């Protein structure tokens, strides 16, 4: 797709997927997913993962609230409804409604299929450090390493950034570790381009991995069913994944929801690059990539470690 100046628009989301293709694949094509697709996933392992995923929902809710609170909505009425910030706020509100519905869905399916989704966290001594907690072997009855990482990523939304006094890009209020967004800038400092970009990419990234993972599992389940190799009544989990969860998490509606945020991100970046040519365009792109590439890699690592061993 070309811009009005004839320059082909650059897709940030396509770039991120392409540059970490192997890591994305490992995060979305895990043996846990294949076992679920083939009806080989025992109830205890599925229950362990579901209990972690429910806590992921809670961290997601808190982060979404922080992102919403930090979006600087347009002050002027003309064009306000088409502004990227307004569209992002709409998407986050939609996400909040959907994620609450998702938790109720978890509870309903768990009751019908006799699955446990109440995580049993090991008690730690009062003096135990955060590092001790996150480095413990978390098998059945505890948090998965991927959940610990995702909670950290989500918790960093809105965290204040500490910048060096002589930094030319010093922007008070931007997170230093896992920076996701900022809303204001010092009077003598140029405002950050798309200050909400990292936060939006975090939500797009985790939803994109979820969609990719369960769409892959759905494809594997359909392959097995079409070959006549599997009977649904033999599912080790009673059919909860292949009858309930997989169709829900790979639906066209969910794909449209994820794509909506991806398009918003790409369109906003294209707008920033509109009319820029040569070195200036490349400088802006390099600045954007410096902000998000490391976070994308960290997110994929967390997603890869969210799946239990089978």
Per-residue pLDDT of 56-67, as tens digits, reads 999 999 999 999
Q: For the chain, what is the domain count?
A: 1
Q: Are 297 and 135 in contact (CB under 8 A)?
A: no
> Which two tokens mark 205?
């990234």
142 is a domain residue: yes
Q: Is residue 84 part of a domain?
A: yes
Q: pLDDT of 79-116, one tens digit each?
A: 888 899 999 999 999 999 999 999 999 999 999 999 98
Query: Between 73 and 3, whose confidence is greater?
Result: 73
Please state the φ and ψ torsions of residue 198, each to the nearest 5 degrees: -60, -40
Quick one: pLDDT at residue 97?
97
- The residues, any chain, with a CB within 8 Å of residue 54's CB and separated by 6 or more, are 103, 106, 117, 119
115-153 confidence digits (pLDDT tens): 988 876 554 444 444 444 444 444 434 899 999 999 999
Query: 7 in a domain, yes or no?
Result: no
For the chain, how are helix, strand and coil distributed in percent, rounded to 5?
Answer: 60, 0, 35
End-to-end CA distance of the chain: 43
Query: In angstroms, rounded to a whole number, what is the distance separating the alpha carbons of residues 108 and 277?
Result: 54
CA distance 47 to 236: 12
Neighbour count for residue 98 (Cβ, 10 Å): 14
Cα–Cα distance, 84 to 194 (Å, whole number): 9
Its domain, for residue 134, covers 12-304
- Residue of 151, 128, 147, 129 whose CA lies nearest to 139: 147
Residue 309 lies in a domain: no
Asked whether residue 170 carries a pLDDT value surpassing 90, the answer given is no
In a domain, 4, yes or no: no
- DSSP three-state, residue 35: helix
* Helices and strands in the chain: count of H runs, count of E runs: 11, 0
Residue 310 lies in a domain: no
**Which CATH number belongs to the domain containing residue 78 in this structure?**
1.20.910.10
Tokens linked to 50: 């579901």
- State how far the Cα of 237 lies from the Cα of 114, in Å rounded to an integer: 9
- Tokens of residue 7, six digits: 């320059």
């Amino acid at each position: 797709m070309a811009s009005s100046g004839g320059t082909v628009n650059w897709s940030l989301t396509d770039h991120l997927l392409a540059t970490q293709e192997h890591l994305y694949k490992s995060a979305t094509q895990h043996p846990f997913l294949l076992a679920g697709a083939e009806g080989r996933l025992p109830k205890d392992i599925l229950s362990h993962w579901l209990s972690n995923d429910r806590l992921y929902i809670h961290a997601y809710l808190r982060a979404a609230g922080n992102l919403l609170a930090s979006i600087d909505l347009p002050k002027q009425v003309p064009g306000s409804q088409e502004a990227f910030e307004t569209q992002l706020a709409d998407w986050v509100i939609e996400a909040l409604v959907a994620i609450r519905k998702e938790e109720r869905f978890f509870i309903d399916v768990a009751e019908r299929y006799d699955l446990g989704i109440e995580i049993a966290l090991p008690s730690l001594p009062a003096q135990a450090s955060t590092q001790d907690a996150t480095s413990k072997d978390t098998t059945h009855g505890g948090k998965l390493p991927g959940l610990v990482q995702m909670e950290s990523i989500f918790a960093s939304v809105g965290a204040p950034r500490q910048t060096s006094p002589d930094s030319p890009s010093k922007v008070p209020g931007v997170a230093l570790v896992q920076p996701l967004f900022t809303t204001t800038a010092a009077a003598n400092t140029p405002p950050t381009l798309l200050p909400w970009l990292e936060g939006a990419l975090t939500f797009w990234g985790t939803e994109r991995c979820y969609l990719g993972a369960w769409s892959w599992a759905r494809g594997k389940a359909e392959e097995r069913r079409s070959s006549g190799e599997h009977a649904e009544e033999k599912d080790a989990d009673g059919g909860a994944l292949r009858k309930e969860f997989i169709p829900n998490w790979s639906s066209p509606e969910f794909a449209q929801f994820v794509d909506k945020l991806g398009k918003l991100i790409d369109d906003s970046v294209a707008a920033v690059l509109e009319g820029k040519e040569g070195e200036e365009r490349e400088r802006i792109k390099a600045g954007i990539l410096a902000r998000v590439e490391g976070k994308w890699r960290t997110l994929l690592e967390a997603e890869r470690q969210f799946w239990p061993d089978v």
